[in-house]
Amino acid sequence: MGETTQLLASARNGDPDAWERVVVLLYDDLLRLARRTVRGRGACTLNATALVHECYLRVAGGRADAITSSHHFLALASRAMRQILVNHARDRVAAKRGGGAIHVTLERQQLSADQEADDVLMLDEALVRLAREDERLSQVIDCRIFGGLTEMETASALGIPLRTVQRRWQQARERLRVCLQPG
C-alpha cells in the first residue's frame, strides 16, 4: 500500500492532518494535470495554478472521505477540472451576451477566448449526451482530455485494463466526432 493510500485511509479514520499531507504529495501531479488541461487554450483566462486551487476546493469540499487511492483522486480531479472549465466558459458566454457589462470594442484575444468558451460548452453538451449512453466513455474522456492523463494513467485511475482504455478512447473520439459535426 502506497503512502498516499495510507494517508487517505488515515483521513477517512479521522486524522485531520492526513488530507493536507495527501494534497501536498499530489500537488505536483495536480499541477501537471492542470498544465496539460490549459495547454493549447491560449485564450483561457484560467491558469494552471488557479485551476489546481479551484480543483482542490471542489475535491476537498466534496466526498474527499470516499477517495481510496491516488489514482482515484486524480480521476476525481479530472472530472472537477472539466466542471471548472465548463463553469468558467458559461460565465464567459454569459458575460459576452450582456451580463450587465458596458460594451466595448473587443480585441482579438477576447474574441478567441469567447470562441474557446463556446467550444468548451459545445464539448460539454456532447459529453453529457455521451454519458447518458455510456458513462465509462465519458469517464475516459474526462481523464484524457480534461485531466490530461495518459492512457496508462487513465487505466490506473479508473481501475480498468490499458487495452480497455485504448478501445474506449477510440470509441469515445469517434462518437464525439459524430456529435460535434455541424448540422
Region 34-42 average pLDDT = 70
Asked if the model's pLDDT at residue 108 lies above 80, the reply is no
Give tens-digit pLDDT for 122-153. Answer: 888 888 888 898 998 988 988 888 777 889 98
> How many domains does the chain contain in total?
1
Q: Are 112 and 42 in contact (CB under 8 A)?
A: yes
Residues 6+ apart with CB under 8 A from 93: 114, 117, 118, 121
Asked if the model's pLDDT at residue 64 lies above 90, the reply is no
Name the amino acid, one letter, at 137: L
Region 20-34 average pLDDT = 85
* Domain region containing 145: 3-180
pLDDT at residue 98 in the model: 56
Task: Identify the DSSP state of 143.
Answer: I
pTM: 0.65
Region 92-103 average pLDDT = 61
Query: In this predicted model, which residue has the larger pLDDT, 120 or 109?
Result: 120
Q: How far apart are CA 132 and CA 35, in angstroms?
A: 29
Q: What is the largest CA-CA distance in the chain?
A: 57
Region 82-90 average pLDDT = 84
Region 160-174 average pLDDT = 94
Q: Are 81 and 51 in contact (CB under 8 A)?
A: yes
Beta strands in 2-132 (DSSP E): none
As given in the structure block, the three cell numbers for residue 86 are 465548463
Asked if the model's pLDDT at residue 102 lies above 70, the reply is no
Residues 6+ apart with CB under 8 A from 171: 137
Q: How far apart are CA 102 and CA 37, in angstroms?
A: 31
pLDDT at residue 63 in the model: 61
63: closest CA among 87, 80, 41, 40? 80
Average pLDDT of the chain? 79
Q: How far apart are CA 119 and CA 89, in angstroms?
A: 9
Q: Are 96 and 114 in contact (CB under 8 A)?
A: yes
Asked if the model's pLDDT at residue 56 lies above 50, the reply is yes
